[in-house]
């Protein structure tokens, strides 16, 4: 039983570490994508963390099997490098018993993965869809922040402040310059 606890601790700690590292890699890619959405004015900075939070279980459901496989390689590789496997085999632990312990650890990971796949990830994706729907119902004026110029290029909006009760805009500046191209027709002589 001590051997199972020892192996489980080695593999599960490695699984948690590899999962965290892979999750950070995926989140950094998504973070940069969502930052471009913020720069374009399609979402707010607060919404970024809400959406990332809702997508974490979906990312973990993809990462967990790979992280478990890599942690098995790391844990058993370390046991072989430090000659602990030789000690285990010489003390009477067979490869079949070791495989059974590994299967027990795999059952724990499978149970966690099933919980994430069947309950947590669908629920979080549903909540993310609700958040997207709520965001899509916002108007362009909901993204305006008082005291800041919003927009890019020829389209610029500035609002000095909002009234506290009604939410009216004070000191509004709007700029929308459209340049017309001069169209010339060939002359007929």
Q: What average pLDDT does the segment 5-9 reach?
A: 94
Query: Mind listing the pLDDT tens digit for each residue in 102-151?
Result: 999 999 999 999 999 999 999 999 999 998 887 766 555 666 677 777 76
Same-domain pairing of 81 and 105: yes
Segment among 63-72, 88-97, 100-109, 141-150 with least mean pLDDT: 141-150
Segment among 29-43, 57-71, 160-174 with least mean pLDDT: 160-174
**pLDDT value at residue 121:** 95
**pLDDT value at residue 148:** 72
Q: What average pLDDT does the segment 88-94 reach?
A: 91
Q: Quick one: pLDDT band at residue 67, thresholds 50, 70, 90?
A: very high
The helices-and-strands tally (H runs, E runs) of the chain is 5, 3
Measured CA to CA, the distance from residue 41 to residue 29 in angstroms comes to: 19
What is the number of structural domains in the chain? 2
Same-domain pairing of 44 and 100: yes
Same-domain pairing of 160 and 85: no
**Mean confidence (pLDDT) of the chain:** 85
**Residue 158 is part of which domain span?**
142-176
**pLDDT value at residue 181:** 67
Closest CA to 66 of 7, 15, 12, 122: 15
- Domain contains 181: no
Same-domain pairing of 93 and 150: no
Q: In what order do the strands lie in the sheet with 169-176?
A: 149-152, 155-162, 169-176
Asked whether residue 48 carries a pLDDT value surpassing 60, the answer given is yes
H or E stretch covering 158: strand 155-162
Same-domain pairing of 123 and 156: no
Q: Quick one: pLDDT band at residue 187, thresholds 50, 70, 90?
A: low
Segment among 18-22, 30-34, 91-95, 157-161 with least mean pLDDT: 157-161
């Amino acid at each position: 039983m001590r051997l199972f606890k020892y192996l489980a601790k080695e593999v599960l700690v490695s699984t948690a570490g590899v999962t965290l590292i892979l999750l950070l890699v995926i989140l950094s890619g998504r973070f940069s994508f969502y930052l471009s959405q913020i720069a374009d004015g399609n979402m707010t900075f607060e919404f970024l963390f809400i959406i990332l939070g809702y997508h974490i279980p979906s990312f973990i459901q993809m990462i967990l099997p790979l992280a478990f496989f890599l942690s098995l390689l790391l844990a058993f590789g370390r046991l072989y490098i430090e000659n602990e496997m030789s000690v285990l085999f010489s003390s009477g632990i067979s490869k079949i018993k070791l495989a059974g312990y590994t299967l027990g650890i795999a059952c724990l990971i499978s149970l966690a993965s099933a919980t994430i796949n069947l309950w947590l990830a669908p629920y979080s994706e549903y909540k993310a869809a609700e958040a997207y729907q709520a965001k899509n119902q916002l108007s362009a004026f909901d993204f305006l922040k008082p005291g800041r110029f919003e927009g890019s290029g020829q389209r610029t909006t500035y609002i000095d402040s909002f009234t506290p009760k009604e939410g009216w805009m004070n000191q509004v500046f709007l700029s929308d310059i459209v340049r017309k191209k001069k169209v010339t027709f060939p002359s007929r002589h």
